[in-house]
């Protein structure tokens, strides 16, 4: 882009608050209290029998706590019926989905609950019980993941298994610690082995990793103090393969000021770049317990090279390399297969160390099995919590599969369930990155601009789009060969290497985000993320596309191909308006942007469009893994309101949308227009909330609006500045040197 201009800032005075009055309606389910009450009473009796049966050995026995499931009627949810549950003395510890929750109640209060249900059954009192469909025991079968059950079926001769046992969430720290100790003792009694010290998530939930016998898994899972049991995830190290040594010593551009470059924190097995360019890595750090091994830097070095230098194959003949980011080497991996609990704790430590100076953390590792999708993964949810707590962004690989070795065409690979993204790429506040083939090679099932044959695809958690964005990377042939090309080359300590994997497209996007970050005011990393998505280049033709086709494309490519320059700059033909703020449930927002007269007056042929508006709105909602499918507590809808040819304000959203899904963290869509009036158009924003969000709780958001002149007349940016007379001013980014 030769015509680089700064984006235009939308100030607070161009945003109008519109009061909103949320309403709630109760539904009469027409149940007969005698029949319905009898069902509820029977459920409570069964729960009590199980409590008494296991009381002697249960970890919650001394706490006199009864654990069970509450099931609401279809059409109800725990966000609206929370008061009912709590008024009956039940504490909601975890929500499985909007109709199912796991609760605890003191034994004496459980007796009171039985009495109240009996009066409802016999006398028709307390009609609010009609909203509860049933009370059910919380059994071992409810706690084991589908992957764990499938593993047992496929491996009937397996004698033991490495599992993670998540304790019941939202216990007080004192009760949690006592329960943890008793479950550890029970594991040892059953000839199991505690693998590592139990650890806590940021929300306080405790997890025990242990090797246990298959025969004991059900008995252990029946303990009331255990909420979920799953196979331990391992994060696999992939070593680089050098293809050629350096013919001449690599040199950094002498005009580069390393201190002024943005930071990417590389969470990996170490970074060991050639000495001549090693100054681009001013910080080397080891997490607690990490020991340098023979694999040091085998994966982290090529990852860091992509973050710092992007597509190295484009510059292999250049005299100098020009870095776009400096690297903080945060070494957290020191073995071939690192268990998830160790990875999580080391990431927590790295974030505490570097979040004060760095906003972008690259993590290019994934579990080796796809997500199930109905529950957020442990590591994915922890990364989300860290994002919110520290105002940082994790850039994550979507993960790799090996279907290219067993399938003969790309369609069969995509259709296979094993190609789904892997933990922690499901993190909703993180940026998951897929891979797209940059060049066509003989023998590859993927051609240029198609998803790479190893790259995992969406959907992610609860059906939301994943990956979020893609970058060019290598292809891989059925025989395992990775053809060298401009997008496959990385650096090792001693030479160039061709690397296939989303491990190496993720740092490309991390570096892209670092570049975009330099163009936003006030170090606003969420606004940089919104700009990155807004400027992504779609990899499919929207003409005549159906919604199911665009959904598939979204789960292959996300918002499109990352293009930092496209995201960083406006031009005469393409003007980007940016804004960030907060909003609550009681106010809608109408955000103004401007369409100049020169664009409105441009003539085009019948059936042709002359303007495209692309909208990206990213929210930072409260998140909670214990809420199951209700994980995200808020979303912000966005809609375009334009001036039609008569000057009337009308809503005009696309009939087929890229990404306008309820409860997703991002609304991203575009629409094209052929006839309209100039003046102030608006984006209307509305916040929807659930579970635990108060009416006046403020939810942060970042909004990016790009207007493109499809006729390329060439003076739109200048005319907007003239017509608005200082209302929308070019952004002046702030750059802070960090050593």
Q: What is the pLDDT of residues 567-580, one digit of tens each?
A: 999 999 999 999 99
- Residue 211: count of CB within 10 angstroms of its CB: 15
CA geometry: angle at 139 spanning 136 and 145, to 5°?
A: 120
- pLDDT, position 733: 63
Residue 628 confidence (pLDDT): 87
Q: Residue 354's pLDDT is what?
A: 98
Q: Centre a 10 Å sphere on the Cβ of residue 109 and count the other Cβ atoms it contains.
A: 17
The Cα–Cα gap between 380 and 383 comes to 5
d(CA 230, CA 164): 5
Give the pLDDT confidence score for residue 241 in this predicted structure.
61
Helix (H, G, I), strand (E, B) or coil at 49: helix
The reported pLDDT for the residue numbered 240 is 58
- Residue-level pLDDT at 435: 98
What is the secondary structure of 483-515 as a DSSP string?
Answer: ---TTTEEE-SSEEEE--STTTTHHHHHHHHHH
**Would you state the pLDDT for residue 246?**
75
Please tell me the predicted confidence (pLDDT) of residue 200. 92
Q: Can you give the pTM of this predicted structure?
A: 0.94
Q: Is the preceding peptide bond at 424 cis, omega within 30 degrees of 0?
A: yes
What angle, 0 to 180 degrees and rounded to 10, lies between the N-to-C axes of helices 525-534 and 506-517?
Answer: 110
Which residue positions in the chain have pLDDT lower than 50? 736-739
Torsional sign, CA 540, 5, 392, 507: positive
Q: What is the reported pLDDT for 374?
A: 87
d(CA 725, CA 186): 73
The pLDDT score that the predictor gives to residue 737 is 44
- Rg value, the chain, Cα: 28
Spatial separation of the C-alpha atoms in residues 711 and 699, rounded to whole Å: 38
Per-residue CA distances from 637 to 17, 576, 583, 621, 715 (Å): 15, 20, 12, 13, 32
**454 vs 472: CA distance, rounded Å:** 13
Please state, in angstroms and as integers, the Cα–Cα distance from residue 186 to each residue in 66, 85, 180, following that order.
19, 32, 10
* 277-303: b (≥16 Cβ within 10 Å) or e: beebbbbebbbeebeeeebbbbbbbbb
Report CA 520 to chain centroid distance, whole Å.
22
| String of DSSP letters for 424-460 | TTT-SSSEEEEEEESS--TT-SS-TTSB-TTB-B---
Q: What pLDDT, on a 0 to 100 scale, did the predictor assign at position 739? A: 39
Cα separation, 321 vs 586, in Å, equals 52
Beta bridge partner(s), residue 331: 268, 286
């Amino acid at each position: 882009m030769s015509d680089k201009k700064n984006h235009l800032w939308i100030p607070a005075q161009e945003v109008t608050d519109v009061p909103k009055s949320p309403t709630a309606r109760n539904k009469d389910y027409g149940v007969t209290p005698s029949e319905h009450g009898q069902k509820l009473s029977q459920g409570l009796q069964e729960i009590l029998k199980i409590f008494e049966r296991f009381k002697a050995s249960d970890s919650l026995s001394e706490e006199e706590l009864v654990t069970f499931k509450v099931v609401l009627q279809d059409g109800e949810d725990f966000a609206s019926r929370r008061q009912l549950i709590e008024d009956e003395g039940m504490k909601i510890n975890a929500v499985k989905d909007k109709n199912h929750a796991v609760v605890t109640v003191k034994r004496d209060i459980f007796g009171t609950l039985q009495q109240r249900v009996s009066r409802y059954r016999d006398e028709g009192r307390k009609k609010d019980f009609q909203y509860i469909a049933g009370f059910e025991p919380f059994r071992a079968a409810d706690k084991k993941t589908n992957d764990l059950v499938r593993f047992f079926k496929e491996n009937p001769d397996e004698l033991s298994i490495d599992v993670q046992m998540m304790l019941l969430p939202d216990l007080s720290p004192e009760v949690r610690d006592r329960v943890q100790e008793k479950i550890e003792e029970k594991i040892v009694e059953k000839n199991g082995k505690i693998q590592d010290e139990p650890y806590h998530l940021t929300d306080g939930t405790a997890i025990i990793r242990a090797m246990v016998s298959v025969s004991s898994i059900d008995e252990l899972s029946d303990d009331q103090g255990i909420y979920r049991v799953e196979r331990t995830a391992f994060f696999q190290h992939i070593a680089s393969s050098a293809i050629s040594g350096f013919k001449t010593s690599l040199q950094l551009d002498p005009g580069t000021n390393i201190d002024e470059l943005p930071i990417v924190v590389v969470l990996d097995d170490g970074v060991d770049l050639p000495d001549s360019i090693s100054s681009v890595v001013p910080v080397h750090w080891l997490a607690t317990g990490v020991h340098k091994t023979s694999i040091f830097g085998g994966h982290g070095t090529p990852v860091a090279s992509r973050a710092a230098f992007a597509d190295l194959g484009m510059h292999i003949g250049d005299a100098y390399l020009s870095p776009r980011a400096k690297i903080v080497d945060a070494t957290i991996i020191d073995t071939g297969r690192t268990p998830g609990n160790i990875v999580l704790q080391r990431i927590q430590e790295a974030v505490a160390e570097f979040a004060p100076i760095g906003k972008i953390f690259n993590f290019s590792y994934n579990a080796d099995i796809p997500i199930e999708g109905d529950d957020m993964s442990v590591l994915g949810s922890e990364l989300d919590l860290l994002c919110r707590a520290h105002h940082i962004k994790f850039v994550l690989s979507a993960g790799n599969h090996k279907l290219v070795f067993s399938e003969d065409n790309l369609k069969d690979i995509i259709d296979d369930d094993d190609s789904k993204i892997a933990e922690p790429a499901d993190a909703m506040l993180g940026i998951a990155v897929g891979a797209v083939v940059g060049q066509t090679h003989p023998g590859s099932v993927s051609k240029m601009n198609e998803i790479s044959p190893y790259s995992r695809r969406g959907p992610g958690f609860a059906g939301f789009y994943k990956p979020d964005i893609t970058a060019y990377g290598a292809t891989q042939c059925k025989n395992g060969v990775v053809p060298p090309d401009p997008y496959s080359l990385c650096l090792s300590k001693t030479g160039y290497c061709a690397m296939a994997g989303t491990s190496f497209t993720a740092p490309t996007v991390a570096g892209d985000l670092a570049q975009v970050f330099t163009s936003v005011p006030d170090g606003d990393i969420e606004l940089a993320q919104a700009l990155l998505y807004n400027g992504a280049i779609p990899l499919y033709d929207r003409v005549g596309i159906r919604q199911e086709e665009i959904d598939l494309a979204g789960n292959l490519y996300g918002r499109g191909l990352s293009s930092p320059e496209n995201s960083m700059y406006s031009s005469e033909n393409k003007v980007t308006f940016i804004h960030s703020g907060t909003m609550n449930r009681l106010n809608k927002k109408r955000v103004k942007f401007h369409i100049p007269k020169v664009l409105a007056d441009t003539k085009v042929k019948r059936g042709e469009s002359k303007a495209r508006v692309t909208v990206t709105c990213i929210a930072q909602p409260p998140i909670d893994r214990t809420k199951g499918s209700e994980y995200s507590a808020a979303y912000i809808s966005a809609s375009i309101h334009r001036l039609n040819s008569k000057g009337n304000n009308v809503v005009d959203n696309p009939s087929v949308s890229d990404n306008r899904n309820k409860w997703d963290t991002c609304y991203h869509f575009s629409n094209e227009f052929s006839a309209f009036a100039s003046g102030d158009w608006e984006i209307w924003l509305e916040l929807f909330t659930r579970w635990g969000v108060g009416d006046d709780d403020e939810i942060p958001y970042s909004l990016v609006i790009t207007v493109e002149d499809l006729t390329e007349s060439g003076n739109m940016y200048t005319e907007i500045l003239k017509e608005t007379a200082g209302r929308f001013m070019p952004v002046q980014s702030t750059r802070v040197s960090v050593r």
